[in-house]
Amino acid sequence: MMEKFTYTAKNGKKISLPRFDNIPFGVIRKLRKESETEQFFGLIEGVCTAKDLSVIDTMSQAEVRTVMTAWQRESGVELGESSAS
């Protein structure tokens, strides 16, 4: 079974996201030439269920940053840095 990252929002609802190494390659490939902002939204929309998106849509920007930081940390990656950095 694919490992998931689970986050409980401040409103008590949970979201579940795949670990970064389990994100389908096609999602990443399609976003590779997009701006950083479009990559962020495309990634979220590409891996979230409609239920998870509805929970995320109720979060503040600060809480979404918290989710992204925790998701990256649990997945063992840091976005925005190439392996050559």
For residues 21 and 7, what is the distance between their CA atoms, to the nearest angstrom?
18
Give residue-wise pLDDT tens across range 43-82.
Answer: 999 999 999 999 999 999 999 999 999 999 988 876 554 4
Give residue-wise pLDDT tens across range 15-24.
Answer: 999 998 899 9
Q: Is 76:70 a contact under the CB 8 Å cutoff? A: no
Provide the pLDDT for residue 80. 54
Strand locations in the chain (E):
4-8, 14-18
User: Per residue in 42-76, is it b (16+ CB within 10 Å) or e — as a string?
Assistant: bbbeebbeeebeebbeebeeeeeeebbeebeebbe
In this prediction the pTM is 0.79
